[in-house]
Homo-oligomer: A and B are copies of this chain.
């Protein structure tokens, strides 16, 4: 398999973790977002959205990290990234969707660029925007994790899964913008549990072939 991605892209980071947890080997094709590689015609032919990641599995191109991860889960079920009952699966998918729908896309590079270029907002306002949406989402996730006995070493029980895959890259982004993690002790604890695992560590932006100094 071949993963078109960018070291710092959260969505690419998620798919790297999923591939690592499943023990699937893949080759990285770096798409440098800050240099706009994603807007080149060659890449738009792969993903007309011009976003990363895209996964090439034997010539079949998959886009959108939530869809890619569900595909990996259906195609290589072991170890599972989702629990068994529909109710538990809904809990895990909801935790993942809070990140994948309601935090990350609002803070994506293209949105920050729109705020800066089209709306003329400065670095301070953009940092406030960034941390506002992470904070709003993390408050909800923290409450959902802390109040539920289904939460274990990881977001759901004692095996890492889809919710952890979504959460960890978002925490790494929060660190980059120096968000105070003190209000989110459960998230911070689960993040540490994840980063103790090789599958998560090897997926970190700093460990990628296109990592920036």
Contact = CB atoms under 8 A, between A and B. Distances in A.
Given A71-B86, A143-B48, A101 B94 contact: no
Nearest to A103: B105
A184 interface: no
A89 interface: yes
A93 B70 CA distance: 9
Number of copies: 2
A121 B94 CA distance: 31
A29 interface: no
A111 B106 contact: yes
A87 B101 contact: no
A202 to B, nearest CB: 24
A64 to B, nearest CB: 4
A98 B49 contact: yes
Contact of A119 (B64, B111, B121): B121
A30 interface: no
A93 B97 CA distance: 13
A119 B114 contact: no
Q: Which one of A97, A102, A108 has the greatest number of beta carbons of chain B within 10 Å? A: A97
A67 B93 contact: yes
A1 interface: no
A89 B111 contact: no
Interface of A: 47-51, 60, 62-68, 70-71, 74-75, 86-87, 89-91, 93-94, 96-98, 100-102, 104-106, 108, 110-111, 114-115, 118-119, 121, 125, 128-129, 132, 136-137, 139-140, 143-144
9 contacts: A50-B140, A66-B66, A67-B89, A71-B87, A75-B86, A101-B101, A102-B105, A105-B105, A114-B129
